[in-house]
Amino acid sequence: MHHLIKPLSAALLVAFAATAAPYALAAGPDLKIALIAGKTGALEAYAKETETGFMLGLEYLTGGKMEINGRKLKVIVKDDQSKPDLGRTLLAEAYGDDKVEIAVGTSSSGSALAMLPVAKEYKKVLIVEPAVADAITGDKWNKYIFRTARNSMQDALAAATTLKGGSVAFLAQDYAFGRDGVKAGKEALAATGSKATVVHEEYAPAAATDFTAPTQRLFDALKDKPQPRVLGIVWAGPNPMNKIADMKPERFGISLAPGGNILPVMKTWKNYAGTEGTIYYYYAFPKNKMNDWLVAEHTKRFKAPPDMFTAGGFAAASAVFNALSKVPSGNGDQLVAAMEGMSFETPKGPMSFRKEDHQALQSMYHFRIKKDQKNEWDLLELVREIPAAELPLPVRNKR
């Protein structure tokens, strides 16, 4: 009896294989990714860089094929105009109507904070890039939120490692980013064991162009305090550093400490050679294969080196690529499990998502403005790379 079964099974298998072959070649539907950015509005320059970096990152990681495990990648870009209500609506549309596997965004911290509950509602992963508000991985966090961007506290800790004592005052924008930055700055000085004392804080309107009065108050507060006297500037967009420098802080022995900014802003700092600060990324600092490719390709295509948020977009693409390679289904809970503690390569070197709050741990850079600038974009020299291990980042999400 048994000898009849074998040929029959074999024949059935052949017949089945013949019918199945065309379907076996199809690798499955497109993998859909939403990228939400403030492409119109105040943060337009940041959004453009994020999108460019994200697309370059996917191109590099897929060897130009734009696919993972044979499935085509489809990136759906949405403009939230940096408006929280619109950000929330667009993310719900991406998860619900577009059926994306994973989402990335956005430029504004206000909009990003509005998006967090939507990820939880749909049980889908949201990678936050480049918004920096501490609350995103703090009290407003949920388990579907991961962040490749640095947060305000990482910025502040990096700056604090450069101050060993003396007196500090802050000028910041009078909205969430500025107030978050100063709060983080004060905590960071304590956390790094710096003996520096904060003597004054000034908050100016986000769109201010005249800094005479607040700067005078800052100078008055600092001028008789113990040396070194440092004026920290926490500002997004066009920076007040030039206007403050024009008021000659050196008369009072005050040095400026700007946070790093986008290249078009830092290009205007040429007259302040020797001024030091800290930054998330500057194209000439990291030495690795991925960054070499990014700098070469970006310069070839756009006639300028990549910027801070270009590198951020690339880092987010690397997180997406690694996550979807591990969990092709895009299932939110499985992605969370795979991404907690996940390390991935970026133009800054390796990053890893901390298990507790999904914040990407990463290096920062201490820079000095160059005296001899060889070309339009030869702006900064590296004082030193500050490794993630030196940045004692508190966990704030009460998980």
Residue 195 CB partners (closer than 8 Å, separation 6+): 164, 165, 166
Token representation of residue 236: 């997004």
- 153-279+365-390 and 31-150+287-362 share a CATH fold: yes
pLDDT at 18: 41
Is beta strand 276-279 parallel, antiparallel or unpaired with respect to 364-369?
antiparallel
pTM reported for the whole predicted model: 0.90
For residue 172, pLDDT beyond 50: yes
Provide the pairing of β-strand 380-386 with 364-369.
Answer: antiparallel
Fold of the domain built from segment(s) 31-150+287-362: Rossmann fold (3.40.50)
Query: Whose structure tokens read 């099974």?
Result: 9
Segment 339-356, tens digit of pLDDT: 999 999 999 999 999 999
Q: Are strands 360-361 and 126-128 parallel, antiparallel or unpaired?
A: unpaired
**Residue 164 confidence (pLDDT):** 86
CATH superfamily of 153-279+365-390: Response regulator (3.40.50.2300)
Tell me: pLDDT of 16 over 80. Answer: no
Residue 110's Cβ-side half-sphere holds a number of Cα atoms within 13 Å equal to 14
pLDDT digits (tens, 9 = 90+) for 26-77: 568 999 999 999 999 989 999 999 999 999 999 999 999 999 999 999 999 9
Mean pLDDT (the chain) is 92
Q: Is the pLDDT of residue 20 over 90?
A: no
- pLDDT class for 284, splitting at 50, 70, 90? very high
State residue 3's pLDDT score. 44
Give tens-digit pLDDT for 69-126.
999 999 999 999 999 999 999 999 999 999 999 999 999 999 999 999 999 999 999 9
Nearest by Cα to 33 from 93, 2, 89, 75: 75
Residue 1 class from Cβ within 10 Å (0-12 exposed, 13-18 middle, 19+ buried)? Answer: exposed
Rounded CA gap, 172 and 188, in Å? 16
Domain range summary for the chain, segments of one domain joined by +:
31-150+287-362, 153-279+365-390
